Amino acid sequence: MRTELCDLLGIDYPVLQGGMAWVSTAELVAAVSEAGGLGILGSGNAPPEWLEEQVAKIRTLTDKPFGVNVMLMSPYADQIMDIVVKERIPVVTTGAGNPGKYVSKLKEIGTKVIPVVPSVALAKRMERSGVDAVIAEGGESGGHVGEQNTMPLVPQVVDAVSIPVIAAGGIFDGRGLVAALALGAVGVQMGTRFMSAEECVIHENVKKLLLKAKDRDTVITGRSTGHPVRVIKNKLAKRFQELESLCTPPEELEKLGVGKLKAAMVDGDVEYGSVMAGQVCGMIEKIQPAREIIEEIVSEAEKIIEKLSQGR
Ligand code: TUI
């Protein structure tokens, strides 16, 4: 199963692993890239030294292409981009903002630039700034979310730009991959599915929670702060909702969120930590190697395409 995305990025399958702070570290990134997808390191709010160390580790584990996700709200975003340039990272994805000011420098050194866009307007702006592709991510995804959902967003972005479009948000298996291709995307990005990978270093408590999760177990909090995030419902999410219903000032709510993603993913505090995950968490049934995840998705997609083409 090859699409133009495979040629653009030098990968075997049109499957990107979403860059997730505290979740997609060197081990997972290398495993996904070794299996023929594109592993993407989640730099979140990490300092530049952390990135250098992780990039060095990835390079000891794989020679395959990989990416770094730059979270543009990070106080270190400029320094992280400097390291990306210095290390000549093959692919950069961005989230939570407009990466326009970095594009020309990245293109100069041959890095492929692929921003996440939550709207047609930003997709068009990004195309004009010279990026290689966009990831149209719907609000079914985990973490920081836009307002549009994947099913209406992807075809509208596909119609609005001439560069390749990757679909994200709510994609879990071969059915999601085929649906994304049907909407005009050249591939998919999946985050939550890869949280169930053996190589994903998140705390056991989070993996157990994901295995138990059902379809209605996530909620979006933080709309009133301008930074809405989808998380698994727990005591922290409930507290957030209560405070938001009392019109608590955004600064106070922001304070409540500080350090909570690490508390969940690294320390395993699944009650008072921020367990960011997408709506597909209800489909997680097992922990398995990243290679098996990718092979399952691709073979399921191929079977579906064959079945559809035979009118069955
Ligand atoms: O970035 C993500 N997901 C994330 S980042 C993150 S770290 C975080 N921690 C606490 C609070 C907030 C974030 C956790 N999950 N996904 C990609 C994504 N980007 N989704 C939505 C957007 C986005 C939103 C607005 C991209 C661009 C944008 O542009 C606004 C503008 O400047 O035009």
pLDDT at 273: 98
Residue nearest to atom 26 of ligand 1 (CA): 96
Mean pLDDT of 166-177: 98
Mean pLDDT of 209-214: 98
Q: Which two tokens stand for residue 33?
A: 């890239």
Centroid of ligand 1 to alpha carbon of 187 (angstroms) = 20
138-164 confidence digits (pLDDT tens): 999 999 999 999 999 999 999 999 999
Report the chain's C-alpha Rg in angstroms.
Answer: 18
pLDDT at 287: 98
Q: How confident is the model at residue 237 (pLDDT cuts 50, 70, 90)?
A: very high
Contact in structure between 115 and 145 (CB atoms under 8 Å): no
pLDDT of residue 220 exceeding 80: yes
pLDDT at 311: 85
Mean pLDDT of 225-254: 95
pLDDT of residue 312 exceeding 80: no
Mean pLDDT of 117-141: 98
Residue nearest to atom 27 of ligand 1 (CA): 97
The pLDDT mean for the chain works out to: 97
pLDDT of residue 192 exceeding 80: yes
11-61 confidence digits (pLDDT tens): 999 999 999 999 999 999 999 999 999 999 999 999 999 999 999 999 999
Centroid of ligand 1 to alpha carbon of 171 (angstroms) = 18
Centroid of ligand 1 to alpha carbon of 308 (angstroms) = 35
Centroid of ligand 1 to alpha carbon of 47 (angstroms) = 18
CB-ligand 1 contact for 229 (6 Å cutoff): yes
Q: Which two tokens stand for residue 129?
A: 């700034």
pLDDT of residue 261 exceeding 90: yes
| Whole-number Å distance between alpha carbons of 270 and 75 | 26
pLDDT of residue 300 exceeding 80: yes
Mean pLDDT of 245-258: 92
Cite the DSSP H helix spans in the chain.
4-9, 26-34, 48-61, 77-86, 103-108, 120-128, 150-160, 174-182, 192-195, 204-212, 235-245, 250-257, 260-265, 290-309
| CA angle 75–88–83, rounded 5-degree value | 25
Which domains does the chain possess? Answer: 4-201+285-309 (3.20.20.70), 214-276 (no CATH)
Which of 80, 116, 190 gets mutated to test ligand 1 (max ligand atoms within 8 A of its CB)?
A: 116
pLDDT of residue 248 exceeding 80: yes
46-57 confidence digits (pLDDT tens): 999 999 999 999
Centroid of ligand 1 to alpha carbon of 307 (angstroms) = 37
- pTM, to two decimals: 0.97
CB-ligand 1 contact for 134 (6 Å cutoff): no
pLDDT at 81: 98
Centroid of ligand 1 to alpha carbon of 116 (angstroms) = 8
- 111 DSSP 8-state letter: -
CB-ligand 1 contact for 129 (6 Å cutoff): no
Beta strand 91-95 with 229-232: parallel, antiparallel or unpaired? unpaired
CB-ligand 1 contact for 210 (6 Å cutoff): no
pLDDT of residue 73 exceeding 90: yes
CB-ligand 1 contact for 14 (6 Å cutoff): no
